[in-house]
């Protein structure tokens, strides 16, 4: 099928590359000329596993990049809209990018097009998109608007797209549902995973993908409700971690015991410095805002956000507890991206903590495998960037772990202890076992677990007195 994807960001580019891999003819359109030029020149603008392979496999053949939206739409049957929907000051989603795409599409809708909301949008958006396209002169019989929310996670976006738990299509008629079914056919019938050149299927994923057809409104709510629920799980375990710190219990044990219940599950029950990224914070706010507009005060979501915000503050308190005063302290930082596996720093709690520490007068030396260039654009010279965890640790008063990159969980601990000025690690991601850190002579602070002192100074585990107070 000929397909246009509008927006070449984290979702649009991955969707475009994956749809080309499913066998479709895809044009990815962006109004950022520099992005289009870079993509046409062979650059891979985001850090995402398997994306370079897919781009080099299809670029210039089944996958093209363009700045001309009407032309792309005229040549396509399906048009995925994957532009940003950032939060406004009041928390609701800013839909002006979606609206401007709808206006532009209107003139090009001639034969029959399915306009597909891929962006995360509040309920009723599909009705508005339809109205805008009609207002701008399109024939009502020439198009349908459907909702097809995207559930990919940055870092595993390609395999999430190709091996999804479910594909939700919100279609209010059979004609548009048939088009959606055709687009995803190789995933729904399992033929994609059997191809010899398929991107490898991750362990634990099921094929074929389950197709769930709903109304457009339900599909819109499914996306908001899913993200709000996952954010709530994270805030829940973070709140439990606070209780653990107060009583000297170990949140990892709680997580194992609670998560073993198949009704609950252990995923998204990792305590830390809070969720971030371009989705959870804004989607929780947007769902709250849309519920309020519809007459329901969804106060649970306010609490989810409050607990999340507090996690950063609690982490900073641990840094103070470990180092007393902050002005002039040298801190090594591992991780700046909002989570491991991506270079995305939007709403990154790691970056926000680094900025607070810089504001308090700390000298921060940071390392991140993928996000440093993006952070440098924000922080300029206020943060020093280095090329390895070891350089970040060297001569620092403490090492802070702020992002759960896999490479940070396998550090050479003896070397780390020797490189640090003081053997102190403050881990916002619980990547290590406290007793192992103590055995290696490190004083170790983590989330929801007792702080341990380096074995050679004072071997006794102590509870976090500040948190208990
Ligand atoms: P992004 O900011 O990375 O990309 C958006 C792209 O759209 C940009 O390249 C921008 O230049 C382009 N754009 C904006 N207006 C345009 C226009 N009028 N014409 C053509 N291009 C235009 O955003 P993203 O992270 O890819 O997210 C896109 C949507 O998908 C959001 O609604 C987001 O909530 C949702 N989503 C994101 C993720 C994720 O992990 N990032 C996951 C699921 C859903």
- Same-domain pairing of 254 and 394: no
Report pLDDT for 457.
53
- Same-domain pairing of 193 and 233: no
Q: Output the CA 13–ligand 1 centroid distance in Å.
A: 9
- 124, 87 in Cβ contact below 8 A? no
Q: Please report which confidence band the pLDDT of residue 454 belongs to, taking 50, 70 and 90 as the band edges.
A: confident
Vertex 302 angle, CA 297 and 303, to 5°: 125
Outline where 248-270 has alpha helix (H).
251-259
- Same-domain pairing of 317 and 287: no
Q: What is the mean pLDDT of the chain?
A: 95
Catalytic residue check, 242 = no
User: Of 277, 214, 228, nearest to 84 (Cα)?
Assistant: 277
Tell me the DSSP string of 119-174: S---TTHHHHHHHHHHHTT--GGGEEEEE------TTSHHHHHHS-SEEEEE-SSH
Q: Output the CA 83–ligand 1 centroid distance in Å.
A: 3
Final residue of a domain: which of 307, 327, 353?
A: 307
pLDDT tens string 101-141: 999 999 999 899 999 999 999 999 999 999 999 999 999 99
- Same-domain pairing of 148 and 21: yes
Question: What CATH number is attached to the domain comprising 22?
Answer: 3.40.50.720
H helix count then E strand count, the chain: 19, 16
pLDDT at residue 460 is higher than 50: no
Question: What CATH number is attached to the domain comprising 291?
Answer: 1.10.1040.10
pLDDT tens string 344-370: 999 999 999 999 999 999 999 999 999
Site of tokens 């609690």: 314
Report pLDDT for 296.
97
User: Hey, whose CA ends up nearest to atom 29 of ligand 1?
Assistant: 119
Please tell me the distance from the alpha carbon of residue 129 to that of residue 132, in angstroms, as a whole number: 5
Q: Please report which confidence band the pLDDT of residue 456 belongs to, taking 50, 70 and 90 as the band edges.
A: low
Please tell me the distance from the alpha carbon of residue 417 to that of residue 419, in angstroms, as a whole number: 6
- Same-domain pairing of 409 and 324: yes
9 ligand 1 Cβ < 6 A: yes
Please tell me the distance from the alpha carbon of residue 198 to that of residue 185, in angstroms, as a whole number: 15
- Name the strands in the sheet holding 363-367, side by side, starting at the edge strand that comes first in the sequence: 383-385, 363-367, 330-334, 398-401, 424-427, 443-445, 451-452, 461-462
Vertex 403 angle, CA 360 and 88, to 5°: 75
Average pLDDT over residues 393-408: 98
Please tell me the distance from the alpha carbon of residue 191 to that of residue 185, in angstroms, as a whole number: 8
Say whether 265 sits in a helix, a strand or coil: coil
Q: Which residues pair with 63 in a beta bridge?
A: 26, 59
pLDDT at residue 463 is higher than 80: no
pLDDT tens string 68-112: 999 999 999 999 999 999 999 888 999 999 999 999 999 999 899
Spell out the residues 6+ positions from residue 263 whose beta carbon is closer than 8 angstroms to its own.
none
- Same-domain pairing of 246 and 176: no
Say whether 384 sits in a helix, a strand or coil: strand
Vertex 224 angle, CA 222 and 226, to 5°: 65
User: What tokens were used for 13?
Assistant: 């580019």
Q: Three-state SS string across 60-119, please?
A: CCCEEEECCHHHHHHCCCEEEECCCCCECCCCCECCHHHHHHHHHHHCCCCCCEEEEECC
Final residue of a domain: which of 171, 197, 214?
A: 214
Counting every residue written for the chain, the total comes to: 469
173-196 exposure pattern, b = at least 16 Cβ within 10 A, e = fewer: eeebbebbbebbbbbbeeebbeee
30 ligand 1 Cβ < 6 A: yes
- 421, 414 in Cβ contact below 8 A? no
Spell out the residues 6+ positions from residue 172 whose beta carbon is closer than 8 angstroms to its own.
144, 146, 215, 216
- Same-domain pairing of 29 and 143: yes
Site of tokens 């020149």: 41
User: Hey, whose CA ends up nearest to atom 14 of ligand 1?
Assistant: 83
Number of domains in the chain: 3
Report pLDDT for 466.
38
Report pLDDT for 467.
38
Please tell me the distance from the alpha carbon of residue 363 to that of residue 354, in angstroms, as a whole number: 10
- Same-domain pairing of 268 and 144: no
User: Hey, whose CA ends up nearest to atom 20 of ligand 1?
Assistant: 30
- Same-domain pairing of 183 and 170: yes
Q: Output the CA 244–ligand 1 centroid distance in Å.
A: 39
- Same-domain pairing of 172 and 251: no
Spell out the residues 6+ positions from residue 219 whose beta carbon is closer than 8 angstroms to its own.
146, 147, 148, 149, 168, 169, 170
Final residue of a domain: which of 307, 333, 352?
A: 307
Single out the catalytic residue among 18, 242, 279, 362. Answer: 279
Q: Output the CA 152–ligand 1 centroid distance in Å.
A: 13
Report pLDDT for 110.
86
- Same-domain pairing of 244 and 366: no
- 240: domain range? 223-307
- Same-domain pairing of 112 and 232: no
């Amino acid at each position: 099928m000929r397909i246009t994807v509008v927006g070449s960001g984290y979702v649009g580019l991955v969707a475009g590359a994956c749809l080309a891999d499913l066998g479709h003819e895809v044009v990815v359109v962006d109004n950022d000329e520099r992005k289009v030029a870079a993509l046409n020149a062979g650059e891979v603008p985001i850090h995402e596993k398997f994306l370079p392979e897919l781009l080099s496999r299809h670029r210039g053949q089944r996958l093209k990049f363009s700045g001309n939206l009407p032309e792309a739409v005229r040549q396509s049957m399906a048009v995925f809209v994957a532009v940003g929907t950032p939060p406004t000051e009041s928390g609701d989603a800013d839909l002006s990018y979606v609206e401007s795409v709808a206006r532009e599409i209107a003139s090009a809708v001639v034969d029959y097009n399915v306009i597909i909301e891929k962006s995360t949008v509040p309920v009723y958006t599909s009705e508005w998109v339809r109205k805008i396209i009609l207002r701008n002169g399109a024939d009502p019989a020439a198009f349908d608007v459907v909702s097809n929310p995207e559930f990919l996670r940055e870092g595993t976006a390609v395999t999430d797209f190709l091996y999804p738990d479910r594909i939700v299509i919100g279609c209010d008629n059979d004609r548009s549902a048939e088009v959606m079914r055709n687009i995803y056919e190789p995933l729904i019938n399992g033929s994609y995973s059997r191809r010899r050149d398929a991107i490898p299927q991750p362990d634990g994923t099921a094929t074929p993908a389950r197709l769930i057809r709903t109304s457009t409104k339900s599909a819109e709510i499914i996306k908001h409700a899913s993200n709000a629920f996952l954010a709530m799980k994270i805030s829940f375990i973070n709140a439990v971690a606070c209780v653990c710190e107060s009583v000297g219990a170990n949140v990892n044990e709680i997580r194992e015991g609670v998560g073993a219940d198949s009704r609950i599950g252990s995923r998204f029950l990792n305590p830390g410095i809070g969720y971030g990224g371009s989705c959870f914070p804004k989607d929780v706010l947007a769902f709250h805002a849309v519920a309020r507009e519809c007459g329901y005060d969804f106060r649970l979501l306010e609490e989810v956000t409050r607990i999340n915000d507090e996690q950063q503050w609690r982490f900073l308190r641990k840094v103070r507890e470990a180092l007393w005063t902050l002005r002039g302290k040298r801190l090594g930082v591992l991780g700046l991206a909002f989570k491991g596996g991506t270079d995305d720093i939007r709403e990154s709690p790691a970056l926000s903590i680094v900025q607070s520490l810089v504001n308090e007068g700390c000298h921060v030396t940071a390392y991140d495998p993928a996000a440093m260039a993006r952070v440098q654009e924000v922080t300029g010279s206020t943060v020093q960037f280095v090329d390895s965890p070891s350089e970040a640790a060297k001569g620092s008063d403490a090492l802070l772990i702020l992002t759960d990159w896999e490479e940070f969980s396998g550090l050479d601990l003896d070397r780390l202890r020797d490189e640090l000025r003081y053997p102190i690690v403050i881990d916002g991601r619980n990547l290590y076992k406290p007793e192992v850190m103590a055995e290696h002579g490190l004083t170790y602070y983590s989330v929801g677990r007792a702080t341990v002192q380096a074995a050679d100074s004072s071997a006794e585990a102590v509870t976090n007195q500040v948190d208990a107070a």
